[in-house]
Structures are given as structure tokens and as C-alpha cells.
Amino acid sequence: MTAELIDGKAIAQALRRRIAERVHALQERGVVPTLAVVLVGEDPASQVYVRNKVAACAEVGIRSRKYEFPADVTVERLLACIDALNGDAEVDGILVQLPLPPHIDETLVLERIAVAKDVDGFHAENVGRLVQGRECFWPCTPHGVMQLLAWEGIEPQGMDAVVVGRSNIVGKPMALMLLNAGATVTVAHSRTRELAAHTRRADLLVVAVGKPEFITAEMVKPGAVVIDVGINRLPDGRLVGDVAAEVREVASRITPVPGGVGPMTIAMLLENTLLAAQRRRGTAP
Ligand SMILES: Nc1nc(=O)c2c([nH]1)NC[C@@H]1CN(c3ccc(C(=O)N[C@@H](CCC(=O)O)C(=O)O)cc3)C=[N+]21
Ligand SMILES: [Mg+2]
């Protein structure tokens, strides 16, 4: 079997067109959804990501504002910026680009963001709401995976799903979303014994470990749907996922890297910002 590629780039583009229509409908009512992006330091990768996010906003009619700070910024200055954005009626969403420099307590900064503006969904109150299956902001990467599955007509209910990775930004929220959708969910990770025995049982395998080509063909059930969340830059400059190329000979459907989950993450940031604007300004459908 050779897996069909799930074209995240094309799906994200289609979703962005729909988001643009909804943004324009809001604009006709005098509301311009606005995202504030906070960037600390000069990490080139973070600068590229932020530039891409700002460009994606512009494309759909979301206004964005960039707040840049030097790497040695004090936590007090950062918190003061968040406080000002929380109190700014024009700002719908706030995104603090991660990672932050080591001297800054990330949790302290993320928890300062008003829950109603937390478009990354990293605030503990949003996470708690996700656990309970209540209305909240879904973290963009697993949100993007759920949209990919929906677009592909893959219904998680009743599926044996295995999530590899237990990070707060991908693995844990991914497991919760699949669980809430009715999947039987196993969360495996770097400390799991007999990892392959778990992954081989998966009808749906989501991998977010950040290790290049970590999942090999013999770890995958024939016919499984494989979602590769990894984005690893190799020394030669190539971008590869957490799933080895040979898995394409075993899976039924698989996301490529690049062009799979990554573009969906950005589309979901736009979706969440639009939702924030609708919810905050009382125009939610
Ligand atoms: N507060 C915060 N929220 C985030 O959502 C967040 C963050 N911090 N810090 C960094 C990570 C990473 N991330 C990506 C988004 C899009 C692509 C993406 O579009 N990737 C393209 C390729 C990009 C390339 O060529 O490098 C693809 O997979 O096709 C990748 C990675 C969001 N992050
Ligand atoms: Mg792990």
C-alpha cells in the first residue's frame, strides 16, 4: 500500500478563504478582528514564524500588531505589555511567541493573558475547559489536526487513537480533543515501554515528539491514518517530520512535512482570532 498524502497546505488555504468571508462579514458590521503578537529576542526561526502569522492575518483581513522586545527584557515590562493588551478594547487575541528566553517564566506570562483573548489556548483556564469539553480556545496545532480529520471525512468516534508525545502545546490537548470526540485514546511518550506495541494498535497515529524520523514502518499498523506533527530542521537544511518516509508504504493516509499540519496551525490561529472577536463583541453565531 502507498499512502495517500493529506494536503494540509491546500486544506489550510480553503479554510483561510472561508475565514476571510466571515471576517469580511464582521467588518461590514464595523468590527475589525485584531491580533496582537508579542515577540521577544532575535531568534531567526521565531521571526520567520511571526512574519508568516502577520502575513496570514493580512490575507484574511485580520488586523495584526507586533510588539517586539529585546532578549533581555524584564518580566515586569512583558507583563505590563500584556496588561495593556488585555485592557485594549480593540485587541481580540494575544499571542506570545514561544519559546521565551530562559530568564522569563513562560507560565507567568501566559497566565497573564485574558482568557477571552487567549487564542493559543495555553492558559490553564482554557486547558481546564478543554478537559471538561466546554467552550474554549483550542490550541492551534491539535485544532488543525482535528480540522484535517474532519476535512478528510475521518470520524474519530470509536477509533483506536495513539498520540505519541505529551507536551502541553500538542500531545496533551490533542489527546483531550480526540477523547472528547469519542476516540479510545492512548498517550505514549519518550518513557513508554514497548512503544511499538502501542503504536501498532493505532488506527489513528498522531506523532509529536520532535525527533526526526522517529516512527518507522514496523511501528505502524497497515492501513493506519498517520498525522506527523514534527517539524525538524536537519543539519543539511532539510525539513523532516517525526515519521520516516518508509511509513508511506504502510499507512493509508499520511500528512507530509512540510505541507501537512504546519499550515493548518496558522489557519487555526486565524480561526481562533475570529472566534475571539465574535465572542468578545457579542457576534458569535
Ligand atoms: N505562542 C506560540 N504559538 C504557536 O503556535 C507557536 C509558537 N508559539 N512557537 C513556535 C511554534 C511552531 N509553530 C508553527 C507554525 C506553523 C508552521 C508551518 O507553517 N510550517 C510549514 C513549513 C514552515 C517552514 O518551511 O519552516 C509546514 O509545515 O509546511 C510551523 C510551526 C507555531 N508555534
Ligand atoms: Mg515527550
Where residue 69 sits, what CATH number does that domain have?
Answer: 3.40.50.10860
Residue 167, annotated as binding a ligand: yes
Q: What is the pLDDT of residue 282?
A: 86
Q: What's the pLDDT tens digit per position in 122-174? A: 999 999 999 999 999 999 999 999 999 999 999 999 999 999 999 999 999 99
| Whether the predicted pLDDT of 225 surpasses 80 | yes
Query: Could you give the number of structural domains in the chain?
Result: 2
- What is residue 27's predicted lDDT score, i.e. its pLDDT? 96
Is residue 207 within 8 Å of residue 228, measured between CB atoms?
yes
- pLDDT for 284: 79
Q: Is residue 15 part of a domain?
A: no
Q: Do 95 and 184 have their domain in common? A: no
Ion ligand 2: residues, Cβ under 5 Å: 165, 189-190
Are residue 144 and residue 223 in the same domain, yes or no? yes
**What is the arithmetic mean of pLDDT over 249-257?**
98
* Residue 207 pLDDT: 98
Q: Which of 11, 49, 113 to mutate to test the pocket of ligand 1 (most atoms within 8 A of CB)?
A: 49
Question: Which of 64, 80, 115 finishes a domain?
Answer: 115
- Alpha-carbon gap, residue 230 to 267, rounded angstroms: 17
Cα angle 102-165-223, degrees, rounded to a multiple of 5? 150
Retrieve residue 96's grid coordinates. Answer: 506570545
CA distance 134 to 193: 33
CATH number, domain containing residue 226: 3.40.50.720
Query: Is pLDDT of 1 > 90?
Result: no
Q: Is 97 marked active-site?
A: yes
Reference 216, options 188, 250, 187; nearest CA is 250
- Kindly state the percentage of the chain with pLDDT values over 90: 98
Q: Using H for helix, E for strand and C for coil, what is the string for 85-141?
A: HHHCCCCCEEEECCCCCCCCCHHHHHHHCCHHHCCCCCCHHHHHHHHCCCCCCCCHH
To the query of whether residue 53 is one of the catalytic residues in this protein, the response is yes
Note the ligand closest to the C-alpha atom of 259: 1
Residues 149 and 243 in one domain: yes
pLDDT at 283 (0 to 100):
81
- pLDDT tens, position by position, 16-55: 999 999 999 999 999 999 999 999 999 999 999 999 999 9
* Residue ID of nearest Cα to ligand 1 atom 12: 49
Asked, for residue 273, whether it belongs to a domain, the answer is no
Range of the domain at 44: 30-115
Kindly report whether the global pTM for this prediction surpasses the value 0.90: yes
Tell whether 96 is covered by a domain. Answer: yes
**CA dist., res. 59 & res. 77, Å (int):** 31
* Alpha-carbon gap, residue 188 to 207, rounded angstroms: 9
Q: Answer yes or no: is 54 within a domain.
A: yes
Angle between helical axes of 171-180 and 124-131 (0-180°, round to 10)? 30
Q: ipTM for the complex?
A: 0.94
Q: Residue 265 C-alpha to ligand 1 middle, in angstroms?
A: 7
208 and 150 co-located in one domain: yes
CA distance 56 to 1: 36
